[in-house]
């Protein structure tokens, strides 16, 4: 049986690898389609045609796109992300610090949102139809419907402008104590928790409700099992697959979807870096940031699928 | 306090989807004495399972016990708190579910679930509970009793799971066990073993039981007393012999009548015997075709048969023997991998999409579940009108007239025309399903388990209708079922299938001919009879049982 699990996991990993190639292809050619010629932009309006042509040759811009793609992809695989057009620094150096900041924000948010979401989702499912369940449902739907810039701006208005409790901007590099940490992270984390929890709560509730309706849960009830035992021993293990998937989907948003939150709070994360890169038409940087988002998403989804495979007793 | 269970004037309410409150149990009263097995019998919707579950103080979601009392060993389950009820469940009253396959948690081992009751109620240490479970496995004649508990539910067969669920119910030494249609989902050959195991264990322990079933013959084997339910009310109650031999209530008599062996009746006179359908060495299955030309999972292996015009062929066999696949292959839904289908002298293309309009029209198929075969969004009129326009190009008044005639043929009132399938009963839906096939004016109708989802009485009426239509329209049927009595009632010849192969072709036993093949013998002898001593008197060759009842 273990052989089957291994082959399933391996085939899942293979699919991930293939997806990665396709995604990088898409990222490369999507950024190619951005308007404007890089050499003209770099040299400015006043450049002579000879200078532009010279730069194009130097940057290999005159080669066919496929060759450039292969060169770029090969660089990615060996860890060479290229050089920034805007300030001639290696992109790896530019990204490194920012990426850690984004990971920090994502990590802190996950630390809060996952337990909160799972608890709310599971308890709402257990008390299905009760006032509590309805309140949770209404609130989560409400939170899903409110756009995050609305939540973020309201938070800034309330806590930074009127109450003056928290700084409006989050400079993660100025953290020296726990209080600093709380002050810097409070608003972005709360905003992101709002955004990602809602989906997790809904999915967890749905998955647990579905298993609670099964005959084996009724059987457990008729064995005299307590509510807690029914949920923990019988419903949850069978709802694990969908829940892990919902969590992975929501968390992947923390890597790629934080653009608005990082911009509003001026948080020095990777999404903010990408926004700046778009402003300066720094193609290699945009490509690298996009690839990081895609790879993060792929890793999370693959992990969730592998967990679902491992938690399926039929494959044991 | 003489009786273990005393139910008095029990009332249960249910809330419908539209929020209306309906009383589904309308004042039921009966008793169960110590060590006695009482059967609750009735059609689906009669409230038999609802009543049985109140013995544990449980009402399914949407239902509520609204009145009366259910005293089990002196405690009124209706009045107890949920906590107190939980203490009784598993220790004094326990439950054997209808579908053990669904009632076992797929994520835990069998042993864990069998001894869960002892863990919940802190009855005994785990090691002792395991030893006791193994003892019960042995008593229920399960294979490999020492190790079967280490497996997961999907690794054992349906019949074994059903016995394992009985072990699960008995582990806490209950005073009374509720059996909720425990053999309905099993094949007849497996049912015998399960019934025997149940009976032996219950008798040895002197345990009382409430046995819920719609099958009088099964109940006759195991129950001391029978309570007949209909529409949430007790119609009749009495000892098993009394009910079987001297039923007072018309409904009980109707139930019994549905059991009487109905002869096929005189086969319709056919002027010249001419085959309408010939099948030669059909091979069919699922999955990719292997290098040897066979599909990955071969469901039908080289089956040949002939249906003569105006006569009926029955196909029987246990679930998974390939009988439905055969029907789908003949109809062209699942193309054959080998062999020929000759219909009315012409060889048919393997796939329905390559057959001509006329060929499609002349052979119709009726599926088991009318619920899923009828489009829930369409009215009955639209459902029947579709084949009329498609095959005959009928529109307007002519089509209207034909719809009325078809509804009349299947004995449905014209008032159902504008209703949707969900508003009809199971039997009515199956009639619509059949009318749709008739609309094409076919020569042959493939009936795939069309009575299996129906109650005995309703099924008998549908069979009557089929026979009548055959007399009027000169149709031929291929009638697929796992229920031998149904097939015997309508077919001139019966093909027995086992593991994808045709084992034997027999003429129904009423014609005096007995099956020869050992599997057919086993199958025919496994059909429960109304005689209460039938199970005890039944002798089966253990070799045969071992060879054909691995599942």
Cα(A180)–Cα(A170) distance, integer angstroms = 10
Give the per-residue pLDDT at B488: 84
Helix (H) or strand (E) holding B163: helix B158-170
- Could you tell me if B331 and B198 lie in one domain? no
Q: How many residues does chain B have?
A: 551
Q: Which tokens hold the place of B377?
A: 């969004």
- Could you tell me if B294 and B418 lie in one domain? yes
Cα(B134)–Cα(A154) distance, integer angstroms = 64
Cα(B425)–Cα(B433) distance, integer angstroms = 12
Q: Are B65 and B56 in contact (CB under 8 A)?
A: no
Residue B551 lies in a domain: no
In chain A, residues with a C-beta closer than 8 Å to the C-beta of B185 are none
Interface residue of B15, B98, B107 to substitute, partner A, most A CBs within 10 Å: B107
Give the per-residue pLDDT at B345: 87
Residue B29 lies in a domain: yes
The full DSSP string for A220-276 is: HHHTT--HHHIIIIIIHHHHHHHHHHHHHHHHHHHHHS-HHHHHHTT--SHHHHHHH
- Could you tell me if B125 and B203 lie in one domain? yes
Give the per-residue pLDDT at B511: 47
* Angstroms from A28 CA to nearest CA on chain B: 38
In chain A, residues with a C-beta closer than 8 Å to the C-beta of B120 are 223-226, 229
Query: Nearest CA to B334 among B369, B375, B377, B365?
Result: B365
* Angstroms from B57 CA to nearest CA on chain A: 9
- Could you tell me if B451 and B329 lie in one domain? yes
Cβ partners under 8 Å of residue B166, min gap 6: B96, B136, B140, B177, B182, B197, B198, B201
Q: Which domains does chain A have, with CATH numbers?
A: 94-294 (1.10.3720.10)
Radius of gyration of chain A from Cα atoms? 24
Per the CB < 8 Å rule, is B90 touching A220? no
pLDDT above 50 for B267: yes
Per the CB < 8 Å rule, is A223 touching B105? no
pLDDT band, very low/low/confident/very high, at B255 (cuts 50, 70, 90): confident
In chain B, residues with a C-beta closer than 8 Å to the C-beta of A221 are 58, 89
Cα(B539)–Cα(B531) distance, integer angstroms = 15
pLDDT above 50 for A311: yes
Would you tell me which residues 62-101 of chain B have a C-beta closer than 8 angstroms to some C-beta of chain A?
Answer: 85-91, 94-95, 97, 99
Residue B89 φ/ψ, nearest 5 degrees = -65, 130
Q: Which tokens hold the place of A67?
A: 């060759």
Q: Which tokens hold the place of B386?
A: 């579709």
Instruction: Provide the 8-state DSSP code for A156.
Output: I
Q: Which tokens hold the place of A89?
A: 């620094």
Q: Which tokens hold the place of B291?
A: 């290098």
Per the CB < 8 Å rule, is A221 touching B58? yes
Per the CB < 8 Å rule, is B103 touching A233? no
Handedness of CA B515, B520, B521, B525 (dihedral sign): negative
Per the CB < 8 Å rule, is A219 touching B104? yes
Of B86, B89, B99, the CB nearest to A215: B99
Q: How many CB atoms lie within 10 A of CB A8?
A: 16
pLDDT band, very low/low/confident/very high, at A55 (cuts 50, 70, 90): confident
* Angstroms from A230 CA to nearest CA on chain B: 11
* CATH number reported for the structural domain that contains residue B100 in this entry: 3.40.50.300
Residue B546 lies in a domain: no
Cα(B185)–Cα(B158) distance, integer angstroms = 8
Helix (H) or strand (E) holding B72: strand B63-72
- Could you tell me if B343 and B432 lie in one domain? yes
- Could you tell me if B307 and B205 lie in one domain? no
In chain A, residues with a C-beta closer than 8 Å to the C-beta of B106 are 216, 238, 313-314
Cα(B183)–Cα(B100) distance, integer angstroms = 10
Residue B383 lies in a domain: yes
- Could you tell me if B279 and B246 lie in one domain? no
pTM of the prediction? 0.77
Residue B545 lies in a domain: no
First to last CA, chain A: 6
Q: Who wins on pLDDT, B2 or B335?
A: B335
B156 and chain A: CB distance < 8 Å anywhere? no
Task: Give the CA dihedral B162, B168, B171, B177, nearest 10 degrees.
Answer: -70
- Could you tell me if B409 and B322 lie in one domain? yes
Q: Are B291 and B280 in contact (CB under 8 A)?
A: no
Chain B residue with CA closest to A314: the answer is: B154
Residue B550 lies in a domain: no
- Could you tell me if B344 and B224 lie in one domain? no
* Angstroms from A219 CA to nearest CA on chain B: 6
Chain B residue with CA closest to A311: the answer is: B107
Secondary structure (3-state) at B305: strand
Chain A residue with CA closest to B58: the answer is: A222
pLDDT above 50 for A186: yes
Residue B544 lies in a domain: no
Cα(A298)–Cα(A16) distance, integer angstroms = 7
* Angstroms from B367 CA to nearest CA on chain A: 26
The boundaries of the domain holding residue B251 are: 3-256
Per the CB < 8 Å rule, is B90 touching A221? no
**Mean pLDDT within A268-274:** 85
Give the per-residue pLDDT at B551: 47
Q: Are B207 and B176 in contact (CB under 8 A)?
A: yes
B179 and chain A: CB distance < 8 Å anywhere? no
Cβ partners under 8 Å of residue B225, min gap 6: B36, B37, B38, B39, B237, B238, B239, B240
Q: Which tokens hold the place of B457?
A: 């009485």
Residue B542 lies in a domain: no
**Mean pLDDT within B128-145:** 89
pLDDT band, very low/low/confident/very high, at B320 (cuts 50, 70, 90): confident
Per the CB < 8 Å rule, is B102 touching A214? yes
Of B97, B121, B168, the CB nearest to A224: B121
pLDDT digits over B446-466, tens only? Answer: 999 888 877 778 888 888 888
β-strand partners of A66: none
* Angstroms from A206 CA to nearest CA on chain B: 17
pLDDT digits over B61-113, tens only? Answer: 888 899 899 999 888 999 999 899 999 998 999 999 988 888 999 888 999 99
Q: Is the ipTM of this complex over 0.85?
A: no
B173 and chain A: CB distance < 8 Å anywhere? no
Give the per-residue pLDDT at A174: 62
Cβ partners under 8 Å of residue B218, min gap 6: B183, B191, B195, B528
Helix (H) or strand (E) holding B495: strand B493-498
Per cent of chain A over pLDDT 90 is 16
Q: Which of A29-43, B342-356, B472-486, B513-527 has the lowest mean pLDDT?
A: A29-43
Of A222, A234, A313, the CB nearest to B89: A222
* Angstroms from B93 CA to nearest CA on chain A: 9
In terms of C-beta distances under 8 Å and separation of at least 24 residues, what long-range contacts does A184-188 make, across chains too?
A: A185/A105, A185/A108, A186/A159, A187/A152, A187/A155, A187/A156, A187/A159, A187/A160, A187/A265, A188/A105, A188/A109, A188/A152, A188/A261, A188/A262, A188/A265, A188/A267
Pairs of CB atoms within 8 A across A/B: 74
B52 and chain A: CB distance < 8 Å anywhere? no
In chain A, residues with a C-beta closer than 8 Å to the C-beta of B56 are 222
- Could you tell me if B212 and B317 lie in one domain? no
pLDDT digits over B141-181, tens only? Answer: 888 889 899 988 888 888 888 889 989 998 988 999 999 98
Per the CB < 8 Å rule, is B56 touching A222? yes
In chain B, residues with a C-beta closer than 8 Å to the C-beta of A219 are 95, 97, 103-105
- Could you tell me if B245 and B330 lie in one domain? no
Q: Which of A44-48, A172-176, A195-199, B131-135 has the lowest mean pLDDT?
A: A172-176
In chain B, residues with a C-beta closer than 8 Å to the C-beta of A313 are 106-108, 152, 154
Handedness of CA B127, B128, B131, B132 (dihedral sign): negative
pLDDT above 60 for B268: no
The count of domains in chain B is 2
Mean confidence (pLDDT) of chain B: 86
**Mean pLDDT within A14-40:** 83
Mean confidence (pLDDT) of chain A: 84
Q: Which of A225-229, B43-47, B363-367, B371-375 has the lowest mean pLDDT?
A: B43-47
- Could you tell me if B83 and B159 lie in one domain? yes
Per the CB < 8 Å rule, is A216 touching B104? yes
Per the CB < 8 Å rule, is A219 touching B91? no
Cα(B177)–Cα(B209) distance, integer angstroms = 5
Q: Are B48 and B212 in contact (CB under 8 A)?
A: yes
């Amino acid at each position: 049986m273990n052989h089957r699990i291994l082959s399933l996991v391996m085939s899942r990993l293979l699919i991930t690898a293939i997806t990665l190639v396709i995604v990088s292809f898409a990222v490369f050619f999507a950024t190619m389609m951005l308007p404007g010629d890089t050499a003209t932009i770099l040299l400015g309006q006043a450049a002579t045609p000879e200078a532009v042509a010279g730069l194009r040759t130097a940057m290999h811009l005159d080669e066919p796109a496929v060759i450039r793609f292969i060169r770029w992809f090969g660089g990615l695989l060996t860890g060479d992300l290229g050089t920034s057009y805007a300030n001639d620094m290696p992109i790896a150096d530019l990204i490194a610090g920012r990426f850690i900041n984004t990971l920090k924000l994502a990590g802190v948010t996950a630390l809060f949102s996952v337990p909160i979401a799972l608890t709310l989702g599971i308890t709402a499912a257990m008390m299905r139809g009760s006032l509590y369940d309805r309140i949770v449902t209404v609130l989560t739907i409400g939170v899903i419907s409110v756009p995050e810039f609305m939540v973020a701006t309201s938070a800034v208005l309330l806590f930074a402008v009127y109450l003056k409790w928290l700084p409006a901007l989050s400079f993660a590099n100025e953290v020296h104590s726990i209080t600093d940490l709380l002050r810097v992270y409070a608003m972005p984390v709360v905003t992101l928790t709002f955004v990602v929890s809602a989906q997790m709560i809904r999915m967890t509730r749905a998955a647990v409700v579905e298993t609670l309706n099964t005959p084996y849960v009724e059987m457990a009830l008729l064995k005299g099992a307590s509510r807690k035992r029914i949920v923990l021993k019988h419903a949850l293990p069978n709802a694990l697959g969908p829940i892990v998937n919902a969590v992975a989907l929501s968390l992947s948003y923390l890597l790629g979807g934080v653009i608005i939150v990082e911009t509003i709070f001026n948080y020095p994360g990777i999404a903010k870096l990408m926004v700046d890169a778009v402003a300066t038409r720094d193609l290699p940087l945009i490509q690298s940031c996009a690839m990081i988002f895609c790879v993060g998403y792929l890793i999370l989804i693959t992990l969730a699928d592998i967990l679902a495979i491992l938690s399926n007793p039929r494959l044991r | 306090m003489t009786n273990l269970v005393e139910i008095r004037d029990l009332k249960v309410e249910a809330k419908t989807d539209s929020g209306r409150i309906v009383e589904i149990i309308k004042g039921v009263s009966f008793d169960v004495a110590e060590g006695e097995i009482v059967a609750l019998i009735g059609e689906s919707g009669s409230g038999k399972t609802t009543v049985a579950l109140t013995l544990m103080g449980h009402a399914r979601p949407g239902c509520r016990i609204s009145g009366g009392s259910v005293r089990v060993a002196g405690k009124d389950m209706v009045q107890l708190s949920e906590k107190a009820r939980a203490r009784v469940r598993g220790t004094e009253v326990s439950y054997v579910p209808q579908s053990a396959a669904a009632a076992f948690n797929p994520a835990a081992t069998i042993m864990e679930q069998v001894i869960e009751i002892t863990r919940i109620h802190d009855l005994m240490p785990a090691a002792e509970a395991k030893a006791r479970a193994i003892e019960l496995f042995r008593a229920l004649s399960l294979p490999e009793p020492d190790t079967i508990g280490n497996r997961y539910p999907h690794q054992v067969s349906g019949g074994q799971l059903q016995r394992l669920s009985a072990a699960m119910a008995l582990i806490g030494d209950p005073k009374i066990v509720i059996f909720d249609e425990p053999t309905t989902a099993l094949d007849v050959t497996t049912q015998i073993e399960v019934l025997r195991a149940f009976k032996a264990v219950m008798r040895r322990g002197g345990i009382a039981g409430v046995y819920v079933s719609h099958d009088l013959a099964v109940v006759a084997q195991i129950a001391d007393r029978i309570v007949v339910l209909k529409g949430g009310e007790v119609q009749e109650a009495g000892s098993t012999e009394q009910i079987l031999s001297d039923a007072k209530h018309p409904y009980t008599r109707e139930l019994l009548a549905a059991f009487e062996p109905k002869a096929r009746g005189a086969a319709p006179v056919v002027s010249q015997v001419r085959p309408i359908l010939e099948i030669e060495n059909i091979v069919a299955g699922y999955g990719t075709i292997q290098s040897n030309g066979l599909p990955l999972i071969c469901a039908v292996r080289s089956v040949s048969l002939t249906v003569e015009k105006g006569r009926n062929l029955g196909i029987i066999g246990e679930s998974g023997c390939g009988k439905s696949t055969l029907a789908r292959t003949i109809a062209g839904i699942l193309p054959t991998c080998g062999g020929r289908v000759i219909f009315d002298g012409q060889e048919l293309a393997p796939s329905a999409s390559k057959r001509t309009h006329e060929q499609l029209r002349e052979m119709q198929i009726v599926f088991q579940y009318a619920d899923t075969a009828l489009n829930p969004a369409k009215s009955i009129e639209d459902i029947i009108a579709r084949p009329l326009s498609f095959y005959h190009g009928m529109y307007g008044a002519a089509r209207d007239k034909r719809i009325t005639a078809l509804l009349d043929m299947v004995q449905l009132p014209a008032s159902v025309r504008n209703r949707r399938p969900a508003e009809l009963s199971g039997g009515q839906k199956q009639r619509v399903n059949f009318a749709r096939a008739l609309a094409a004016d076919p020569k042959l109708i493939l009936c795939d388990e069309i009575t299996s989802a129906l109650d005995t009485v309703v099924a008998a009426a549908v069979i009557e209708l089929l026979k009548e239509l055959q007399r009027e329209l000169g149709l031929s049927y291929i009638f697929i079922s796992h229920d031998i009595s149904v097939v015997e009632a309508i077919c001139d010849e019966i093909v027995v299938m086992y593991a994808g192969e045709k084992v034997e072709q027999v003429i129904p036993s009423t014609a005096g001919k007995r099956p020869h093949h050992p599997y057919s013998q086993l199958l025919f002898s496994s059909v429960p009879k109304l005689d209460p001593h039938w199970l005890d008197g039944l002798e089966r060759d253990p070799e045969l049982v071992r060879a054909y009842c691995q599942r």
